[in-house]
Structure 1
Amino acid sequence: MLSASLSYMPPIGLHTLSLNGYISVFEWSGIWHSISLTISSAFISTLISCLITFIILQSTWQLPIWKKIEPLLSPLLAMPHVAFAIGFAFLFSPTGIVARLLTPLGAFDFPIIINDAINIGLVLVLIIKEVPFLLLMSIPIMQQLNVDKTTKVAASLGYKRHQIWWKCIFPQWLKKIRFPLLAVIAYSVSVVDVSLIIGSTNPPTFAVLVWQWFSEPDIQLQPRAGAGAIILLVLCFLLIALHRFLEWGVTTHCRHWQISGRIGLRLPGLALFTTVASIVTLSLPVMILWSIAQRWRFPDLLPSTFTFRFWKNEWVNLLPVITDSIIIAMASATTALAFALLGHEFKIKYRWHIPSLLIAIPMLVPQLSLLFGLQVSALYFSSDSYWFWVVWAHVFFAFPYVFLALDGPWRSFDQRLTQTGLSLGKSPWHCWIKIKLPLLLPAILYAWAIGVSVSLAQYLPTQMLGAGRIMTLTTEAVALSSGFDRRITALYGLWQALLPFIFFSLAIFIGRFYSYRSHLNLTTRKVTGNEPINKKSQHSHS
């Protein structure tokens, strides 16, 4: 990518290093407006997502309501960004459900937040999708912060709950949530598929602009696209540096606000979470309605005529796309899971592993800044193995999520169980299959479902490594969202939302069923006397 940005690409006849690519980028009309849109939308969405996440934790953590919130996080995360963006557009477009509800009240001038000039819609979509992610990442962090002891000590000094959270817990939480926030920044800077559906169009965000340059038919213009990808990477690093500077200022340098009295903010965290969850949940029934609506005039709240004609007519085209999406997702998730299992076992056996920061590079670097290098590298091996390279690209981006999802369960596993099996003469493979795998199977299945979900949501890797020849639900949904029939768009968006949910449900069901069967078999063996229960029987068996 770096060599391409410097106009050195021998396969297309460019043999001289130059800065023409960078010059072409900054000569583009509206380039600074596009860059400012990218920086502002990424920074604002990340900042607001961070604050909303902490406000929800402040209002609900360790309270009975949190037990109702925590199970909802995984279903909210299961919906891909593209599917939610389509549902969000159906809700908040000038002829959407919200406008239909407000029209009888006299609110005829509904504000345009879909494809608006200042990216309000894009910022809202990013906030709503990132809050559940940050909440889920905050669960192990909050368990490490010893909130009970901190609350008791601060309460003995006369502080109220909301004051304790802002002054004592917020600085600690902000430091530990750093890595998920960096991942959110990287995604917000480089998002292309959601920006194509919701974001501004004239000019688009800088990531969309770079993607358009990559799609130019004239390959002699590739240095401009490579330079744009390098600049996108620099923008991401600048925002990460800005985040680190703000974190240092809030938690280390400017600490006067922590000791300046008992001032604190009490904000409605439960109401914020209810709003986020409601918008995500409502997007599904809206897509279902659009997929079976034959006639739906504005401002009617419901279609006047229903039909399944679009399901019947489009099913011939939709079924191969669903099949290809599932095959690619399962192949990439299974491969990523195998790599992750090998990595964790290697780390345990040899006490050496690749740093987590290096593994997480695909999460912390804009996709466009990596995919061009992957695409050029693929050309050196085989230029027409599109299926293989698409699966490989999906593995590349799914592996960090799978690896990190298994990190906690692998750390918490008691290695003495394996050592006991080895001391009884069993092989390491037998101990892994009979002892470790049954205990960690629910976590392994859940990590595999995460890999499937990440693969199903990939847009740029499929487009670039597949050269437009491989169609998935994500690529088709993005293509159809640009002015095609809303019914067909809703159909593809609905299936893209359902597939991750189906895989997550299967993973959870199989894990719980296996745990239940294991517990039942163990109980049966004890009752029938096939397993030693007391020390005397254990001695006789030995």
Structure 2
Amino acid sequence: AALTLISPALSLTHWQALFADPQLPQALLATLVSTTIAAVGALLIALLVIVALWPGPKWQRMCARLPWLLAIPHVAFATSALLLFDDGGLLYDYFPYFTPPMDRFGIGLGLTLAVKESAFLLWILAAVLSEKRLVQQVIVLDSLGYSRWQCLNWLLLPSVAPALAMAMLAIVAWSLSVVDVAIILGPGNPPTLAVISWQWLTQGDADQQTKGALASLLLMLLLAAYVLLGYLLWRSWRRTIPRVDGVRKPATPLLPGITLASFLPLTGVLCVVLLAILADQSTINSEALINSLTMGLVATFIALLLLLLWLEWGPQRRQLWLWLPILLPALPLVAGQYTLALWLNLDGSWTAVVWGHLLWVMPWMLFILQPAWQRIDSRLILIAQTLGWSRAKIFFYVKCPLMLR
């Protein structure tokens, strides 16, 4: 679908019209600031929590509570932050002098995304940190007197580098292209590049739609620039890792990480409580609510069915193309979907919306299901086969219960 955006990029005149727009510089600056804060903030929060709690029972309890935040939609989380911190919000009534000034650079947007995406980053790293080898090595380093930050710098980061790189790529791609949260918390005039691109794409003027398509491609170029910058920073950091020579640094305080670990899962609960308190039931559109719930349930059921079939009967080797919707900015893909829906005369239909959701629901569900699927003990499958169980019976009575755990 994203290939439908390439044709406008072949004209120099179209690019000149885009860069001549007076809104572009400020929108680009707000996008870069908010994305950088979101990525760096999420990484910092996750590392502080890992240093403070892992390994140990507190880490296990924190991981069990992470779904409290992961399950909250981004829009609901952003709305709660707006109602809490904005001018006229709950905190404004008690601390009016601490109301932040007009946010032209998307700082509040970046901070909100950092908190939300840190839970996603911790969820990914938790699967890697569950390896017994890492736990044993950290215990040895602790017993030799090395600080937790030395363990993180010399052992954990090199070990989790592949998973961390993919997670950071997904966070940067999402932060660059997020539209709904940016409308709620981002700057208004001009907005972020993703919002202004979406506004251009949804206008009836062909020239504006072309500018929107080029702005979407500009988001892809920004993602490539972030990838290159991250790679260079990683190479520079690797050169700073010394050989293990027995040098010990003084222990660092763990209170910030412990505080963040305690507060982070609760932000999802606080979000729901705040929205429930401030919601006016008389303004609820029951038809829109039922529509949203139905679409969400149908998309989830279809994705779950397809993914279970894929995991059971699909190819065993990794299919990297399945992760592209997570690793690429969402806006160019949505614009491509919208163009295809127009061609098929499906725009605005219930089917088109569910199809649009499936493009992201499936890889996210696969991201959750695949680690549990890979941890299934093959010896249990072998025992069931020796008892004469069919493949379908093994799937329903062995694999599914193990995945539910």
Same fold (TM over 0.5): yes
Q: Deviations over 1:332-382 (max 9, x none)?
A: 1111112211221224xxx54452x31110001111111222222233333
How many residue pairs get aligned? The number is 402
1:248 is aligned to 2:235: yes
The alpha-carbon deviation at position 258 of structure 1 amounts to 7.6
Give the match for residue 7 of structure 2.
6
> Tell me, which stretches of 5 or more residues in structure 2 are unaligned?
none
Q: Distance in 2 between matches of 1:366 and 1:421?
A: 44
Give the match for residue 273 of structure 2.
285
The alpha-carbon deviation at position 254 of structure 1 amounts to 3.1
What is the one-letter code of the residue matched to 1:110?
A: T
Give 1:25's match in structure 2, choosing from 2, 15, 18: 18
The alpha-carbon deviation at position 154 of structure 1 amounts to 2.5
1:411 is aligned to 2:398: no
Q: Distance in 1 between matches of 2:120 and 2:338?
A: 30
1:336 is aligned to 2:303: yes
Q: Distance in 2 between matches of 1:340 and 1:413?
A: 16
Equivalence map 1:349-498=2 (5 Å) = 352-353=316-317, 355=319, 357-383=320-346, 386-440=349-403, 442=404
The alpha-carbon deviation at position 68 of structure 1 amounts to 3.3
CA gap of 1:259–1:86, structure 2 versus 1, over 3 A, is: farther
Give 1:273's match in structure 2, choosing from 257, 261, 266: 261
The alpha-carbon deviation at position 434 of structure 1 amounts to 3.8
Give 1:314's match in structure 2, choosing from 278, 283, 286: 283
Deviates more, 1:63-72 or 1:413-422: 413-422
Asked if the contact 2:117–2:171 (Cα under 8 Å) also holds between the matched residues in 1, the reply is yes
Give the match for residue 95 of structure 1.
88
The alpha-carbon deviation at position 181 of structure 1 amounts to 1.4
Give the match for residue 216 of structure 2.
229
Q: Distance in 2 between matches of 1:236 and 1:392?
A: 25
Q: Distance in 1 between matches of 2:198 and 2:53?
A: 41
* Superposed CA RMSD: 2.6
1:176 is aligned to 2:163: yes
Deviates more, 1:422-431 or 1:67-76: 422-431
What is the one-letter code of the residue matched to 1:254?
A: T
Asked if the contact 2:141–2:151 (Cα under 8 Å) also holds between the matched residues in 1, the reply is yes
Larger RCO (alpha carbons 8 Å, 6+ apart)? 2
Give 1:163's match in structure 2, choosing from 142, 150, 169: 150
What is the one-letter code of the residue matched to 1:133?
A: F
Q: Deviations over 1:115-155 (max 9, x none)?
A: 61121210111111011111121211111273333234324
The alpha-carbon deviation at position 390 of structure 1 amounts to 0.9
Task: Pick the structure with greater CA Rg.
Answer: 1
4+ residue runs over 6 A deviation = 257-260
Q: Distance in 1 between matches of 2:348 and 2:57?
A: 53
Q: Distance in 2 between matches of 1:417 and 1:147?
A: 26
Equivalence map 1:127-138=2 (5 Å) = 127-138=114-125
Q: Distance in 1 between matches of 2:359 and 2:384?
A: 35
Give the match for residue 41 of structure 2.
48
Structure 1 length as normaliser, TM-score? 0.68
Give the match for residue 146 of structure 1.
133
Q: Distance in 2 between matches of 1:24 and 1:260?
A: 60
Q: Distance in 2 between matches of 1:64 and 1:420?
A: 33
Give 1:324's match in structure 2, choosing from 266, 291, 294: 291
Say which SS state the counterpart of residue 130 (structure 2) adopts: helix
Asked if the contact 1:49–1:127 (Cα under 8 Å) also holds between the matched residues in 2, the reply is yes
Q: Distance in 2 between matches of 1:221 and 1:102?
A: 43
The alpha-carbon deviation at position 61 of structure 1 amounts to 1.4
Asked if the contact 1:363–1:400 (Cα under 8 Å) also holds between the matched residues in 2, the reply is yes
CA gap of 1:187–1:159, structure 2 versus 1, over 3 A, is: same
Q: Distance in 1 between matches of 2:132 and 2:26?
A: 42
The alpha-carbon deviation at position 95 of structure 1 amounts to 2.0
Structure 2 length as normaliser, TM-score? 0.90
Say which SS state the counterpart of residue 65 (structure 1) adopts: helix
The alpha-carbon deviation at position 58 of structure 1 amounts to 0.7
Say which SS state the counterpart of residue 95 (structure 2) adopts: helix
> Tell me, which stretches of 5 or more residues in structure 1 are unaligned?
9-16, 292-309, 444-542
Q: Distance in 1 between matches of 2:186 and 2:79?
A: 12
Give the match for residue 187 of structure 1.
174
